[in-house]
Amino acid sequence: MAAGVDHSVAMRVTGHQTISVFQRYRIVSDDDVRAALERTQAALANVVEGPTPAGQGHNSGHNGAVVIHSRGLSR
């Protein structure tokens, strides 16, 4: 999983037949959590700054504000 392998492929490689057993043995380290938070922060920065200049792209009619709440992100 850390190498970017899809969970279904990893399950086949490891021989786990159910997702529950696979997840039981999928140990998440502090480094895993730190890396995920860094990727999330980079993704949020991309949402706020936008990958395209203002007035172009799918979200050109929105004001760009991002609100984080318990159910995820919304614009």
73 found inside a domain: no
Mean pLDDT for the chain?
Answer: 76
- In this structure, are residues 75 and 66 in contact, taking their beta carbons and an 8 Å threshold? yes
- Give the per-residue pLDDT at 25: 85
Question: Which of the pair, 53 or 16, is modelled with greater confidence?
Answer: 16
Q: Is residue 16 in a domain?
A: yes
State which residues form the domain around 25. 1-38
Is there a domain that residue 72 lies in?
A: no
User: Which tens digits make up the pLDDT trace of 48-68?
Assistant: 766 655 555 555 555 555 555
Q: Report if residue 12 sits inside a domain.
A: yes
Q: Which residues pair with 67 in a beta bridge?
A: 74
- Is residue 25 included in any domain, yes or no? yes
pLDDT tens profile 20-35? 998 888 888 898 889 9
d(CA 61, CA 48): 14
10 within domain boundaries: yes
Is 70 part of any domain? no
Within a domain: 46: no
